[in-house]
Chains A and B, each alone.
Chain A
Amino acid sequence: MNTRIATGLMLASTIALAACQKKAPEELPPPPTATPAPAPAPSGPTVGSQQHFVDAVGQENTVVYFDTDRFNIDAEDQAKLQRQAQYFNQYSGVTFTVEGHCDERGTRDYNLALGERRANAAKNYLVSIGIPANRIRTVSYGKERPVALGSNEAAWAQNRRAATVTIG
């Protein structure tokens, strides 16, 4: 009886903790300083946080772009994904999501499927260069989450993308 209570409470508190961690706001990186910090003063973004990932690989390397209705990974995308893979090889405990997106010039259902295809194309390339598939989650947002808001070719090109986001 007592064990059951204890296990129940433990599990409940673990769930609560997990929930807390997920919702905790990301820490902002400290402003750069001229003098190198003395030895082990652990500051800056936590390993595995999105900020840490962006700082390490560069914002431009976290997103690959696609042509209309296409989902192929071209040479430029490969270079970006290789940079991402370096990071994920270095921090082998980090898991992440590849989000697939489309521009607004597609029908809703088809775009959901196309976004999934794009996310998987990026994932498959990462797996082919050695990142274990079980560290990569994919999700499609179809045309639901544009980053560029215009209705023109430049905006649509920005929205046809697969964005890598760490699960921190």
Chain B
Amino acid sequence: MKQPALFVLALMIASPLAAQNQDLGQPVPEGGEVETIDEGEGLSGTVSFDGNLDDLGIAIPGFATDRDVATPANSSGTAALGKELARVITADLRNNGLFKPTGPDALPQPSFGEITAPNWPIWSNRGAEMLVHGYVRARSDDRLTVGCYLYDMALQQELVREGWVVPPADWRRAAHKCADIVYSRLTGESPFFDSRIAYIAETGPKDNRTKRLAIMDSDGANHRFITTGRSTALTPRYSPDYKQLVYLSYVDGNPRIYVYDIGTGRQTLISQSSNPTFAPRWSPDGRWILYSMAVGGNTDIYRVSASGGESIRLTDTPGIDIGGSYSPDGSQIVFESDRSGSQQIYIMNADGTGQRRLSFFGGRAATPEWSPRGDQIAFTHIAGDFNVAVMSPNGRNMRTLTNGWQDEAPTWAPNGRILQFFRTERNSGKTGLWQVDLTGENLRRLPTPVDASDPAWGPILP
């Protein structure tokens, strides 16, 4: 008799939690550690090439292996994995639009010994100015060691080298890290390939869209759905350490912000208030979450500790104050407000003091996002059509980067050189993720399994 009673009580206690979690799919395994290893001293000569980077030819043959052995990362073995690594690097560098890479399928395969001593004559007549070599070795603990070398063909000299130990499931991260050192060495910019994107996957007709929280690597690989689509999910953001996602869900019938823990698959409400909450954002150090809450129709911005507790209201004007993005040093916040009568961009100190308007260039300005470099603020400029634009943090030097019908909600690459956003098509309402660099060139669509919106690009993976 005791057993059924306990069972009923347990059910009753569990039900509110179950309701909160009823839209969640299987938890996603957390990524493993990637360890950087010492590849010894590389020479660091000056790059010989001085033309446009988009004319720069880079040869990327398959990575060599000392011993072709089976690995959980590739059933065909480490030799096949070496080719895959080179393909991922080639795709990264090509899609970035800056270089002209040639991948392993059009090139001879170097031997293991040649990785640190390139066979120059083989490569010199292929029209490439740069040569990427690398190797992959299976360790006894199943992990992989991957080395990456960049050579200047004209100088026949090594420019940079680095190596990593990765769990087999994270082999693509080694390729992204290699693409990152090549990109960084040749452009002088910070890396960005080894990062992830959270976004909303969309399916179904315009008046009955299914919207699911999803995550993927920066190149679209390792795609995973977090929610089942039973409830509408919107506007996700990765925590800076990639351990949590904050997003909006209608799982209890109202728009409310949840913090989803990726390792445990559990989620919690950001505020116990019954008022609707929207537009969640992390502080750069991950200690705070900004969100907006409507009380009696009036929306203000609040700040709460990422570990929970009392919320602090930062704005108090009548109207809609929403969004918010911290400066990289955490001292200031750019946000959106219609206190002047239409959506415009404002700035304030992190404690809510010193609020003043930044945008004075005609039209409306929405969804400001501070660049991780600190030198630009990206936003949605609404002047007839919706387009992605940037300005200096003092509100000057506004530049429009896209020319779509509805390009919305820019998010920065970790290095602050590329913006991702979503584009909605007129009438059909179909959506997709796009990216553009700060020159306004190199616009491209990021392939996703289904329609996609609300992208949020995380920092370089820890």
Contact = CB atoms under 8 A, between A and B. Distances in A.
Interface of A: 1, 4-5, 8-9, 11-12, 15, 69, 71, 104-105, 107-110, 112-114, 116-117, 119-121, 124, 138-140, 142, 144-147, 149-151
B209 A117 contact: no
A119 B297 contact: yes
23 contacts: A5-B1, A8-B9, A12-B8, A104-B429, A105-B386, A105-B406, A107-B408, A109-B279, A109-B367, A110-B320, A110-B336, A112-B255, A113-B320, A113-B322, A120-B296, A124-B296, A139-B254, A146-B206, A146-B207, A146-B429, A149-B429, A151-B426, A151-B427
Interface residues of B, number: 51
B320 A8 contact: no
A117 B276 contact: no
Contacts of A11: 12
Given A107-B366, A110-B338, 17 more contacts: A1-B1, A4-B9, A5-B5, A12-B12, A15-B15, A107-B343, A108-B234, A108-B408, A109-B278, A112-B234, A112-B248, A112-B279, A116-B294, A117-B294, A120-B294, A139-B255, A140-B255
B292 interface: yes
Q: Which of B255, B426, B454 has the most chain A CB atoms inside 10 A of its CB?
A: B255
Contacts of A113: 278, 292, 294, 299, 320, 322
Interface of B: 1, 4-5, 8-9, 11-12, 15, 205-207, 209, 211, 232, 234-235, 248, 253-255, 276, 278-279, 292, 294, 296-299, 320, 322-323, 336, 338, 342-343, 366-367, 380, 382, 386, 405-406, 408-409, 424, 426-427, 429, 453-454
A140 B294 contact: yes
Given A109-B292, A113-B299, A147 B207 contact: yes
A81 to B, nearest CB: 15
Contacts of A15: 12, 15
B207 A5 contact: no
A122 B24 CA distance: 34
